[in-house]
Each structure stands twice: as C-alpha cells, then as structure tokens.
Amino acid sequence: MAAVTTGFVVPAHAAAPVVSQATTRTVAASTAPAVAAKVAYLLDVTTGKPLFAKQATKRVPIASLTKVMTAYVVLREAGLDDVVRINADDVRHAATNDATSASLRAGERLTVRDLLHGVMLPSGADASHALARVYGPGEKKFVAKMNAAARSLGLTGTRYTNTDGLPKPSGGYSTAQDQAKLAQIALGDPVLLGITSTRRYTVAASKLHRAHTWTNSNKLLGKTPGALGVKTGYTRAAGYCLSFAADQDGHRFVGVILGDAKSERRFQTANRLLDWAGEQVSGTGDDQGEDGGTLSGDA
C-alpha cells in the first residue's frame, strides 16, 4: 500500500544499551555551544557518556515528542500490516484541537505501517488518535499502556496524559534525560529507526484510501550528516521541542531540546551540539572546571 516498507519482529521488551547514570551537575567548557532553550541534553550512546546537560532532569511538557512513546507502544500491540479504519472522531480530534494532522478522512483504511509514518513524519494527531482508539482500546487504556511502558523502561521523570502531547488533558511531563533514553531505545528498533529517518513517505491511492504524501518535520534530515531524525514538537506550554540523533565519526549521538522560543533555533542548536560532540570524542574539545553547561563525565 505504501512506497516505503520495512519489516521486523517487535521484541517483547526492547532493551537499550546501558547508559551511565550521571548527575546533571555542570562543568564549564569554553567550546560548549550556547543553548537558549530552557532544557537540553546530549548523550554519546556509543560510550554511554552524557556530553551536555541543561536542566536535564527538570519535568516539563514535551508536546509531540509524546508520539515517540505512542509509536513504541503501538509496535508492541499491533502488526505492521494490520488495517485501521479512520473514523470521524479521529479527524475531529485533530481539527478541534488545532493540531497537526496527516490529512486523514473518515472511512479511509490504512495499515499500521502507514499510520505510524503519519504519526511520526507530519505529527498527525488524527493518526495517533486512530491507533490509540484501536490498540488501547481507547485513549484512556492506551495512555495507561504508555505509562506502564515508561515505568518498565526506567523513565522515572515521565508521565503521559494523552497520545499526542496536546495540552488537554493537562498534567503530562517528561525530562530531556528520559526522552533521550526513549529515543535511544526507539532507534534500536529497526522499524522505528526506518520511520524516524524517512524524509518523505508516499501512500499510493487505492480502493481503501486516498493518496498521501508525508514530509518529515525534522529539518536535520538530508542536511546534517548521519541524521536519524526522531521527533519535533510544539505547543504554547512546551515551546519548540526536538528529539534528534545522528551517527557521526563512529559514534551515535542522541539529544533533546525542550522549551525553545524559536522554531528554527532548535535545529541550529542541535547542529552546534553535534559539531561540538564530534570535537569532544575526537579529543579536540576542552574539559574545564565547574559552572558551565556541559558534563565532564560520569559524575
């Protein structure tokens, strides 16, 4: 049904490489990039070493970064070739909340594989609503599964109240450190890795649905060397958010930026952090005394 396909067997419990449980005390490094966002974190997944932290354990709203967990839970509950029928409530949910959508229409039937692309690339609240409705079943039960998954993955600073990160119902939060860990786990799943790193996904028209073309909202893809995407997000409460990753110089870096006041700046900041991380792992960066914005190691 779609122009891009991948296949895999979802593990019963996705495991992540061990991440050092460093504190978020900070040290100064003259080469560290300035980060205007309220919260930020950068991890070298290859070594398990946190490289940068700014309020990394502060609990804040994360907008559509929520959908990373939505996709993770769907892949534990559904088959990629399962077919989901879109209903009027799915479409209405995105429209009445002024949310981003995958432009779905009531009556269309699409595979889970297609809908996951609709969730992760254009950040479709209609697609996430449809998946939660079927695989909760219902939003309330699906959110319970999200929170159970967060507990099982050790995301102790995370609480979900919905599947899409919209302000209602309120009360959801996470931390940059938790979201980096979740991104690390998600990228260890070949299907999610394939989805997050896809720049454009096309669903050809059929008797079951209209044609759809979805472009990834993560502007690092195709521009930043080794970029793996992950997820963008925005609400007024959360600000501009970004979960990002890249494979560079034999290392995988995963980062999270939360609460930026400017949309483009989150991508610029991510690029600066990645450039700086490359300097650190190549041995050309500086490690100095305390009070700055970077971590010197496993403190």
Give all strands (DSSP E) within 21-179, no chain letters.
Answer: 39-44, 49-54, 83-85, 109-111
* Tokens, residue 238: 């959360």
Active site residue 64: yes
Give all strands (DSSP E) within the chain, no chain letters.
Answer: 39-44, 49-54, 83-85, 109-111, 200-203, 212-215, 227-235, 239-248, 251-260
Active site residue 123: yes
Which one from 49, 54, 67, 231 is the annotated catalytic residue? 67
Which one from 101, 123, 243, 296 is the annotated catalytic residue? 123
Residue showing tokens 């950040």: 123
- Cα–Cα distance between 244 and 235 in angstroms, integer? 18
CB 176 within 8 A of CB 39: yes
Cα dihedral angle (184, 164, 62, 8), rounded to 10 degrees? 0
DSSP for residue 155: -
Residue 206, amino acid: S
* Tokens, residue 69: 């967990």
Active site residue 197: no
Which one from 49, 54, 64, 181 is the annotated catalytic residue? 64
**Helix 112-120 vs helix 66-77: angle between axes, to the nearest 10 degrees?**
170
CB 53 within 8 A of CB 115: no
* Tokens, residue 119: 């969730």
Residues marked as catalytic: 64, 67, 123
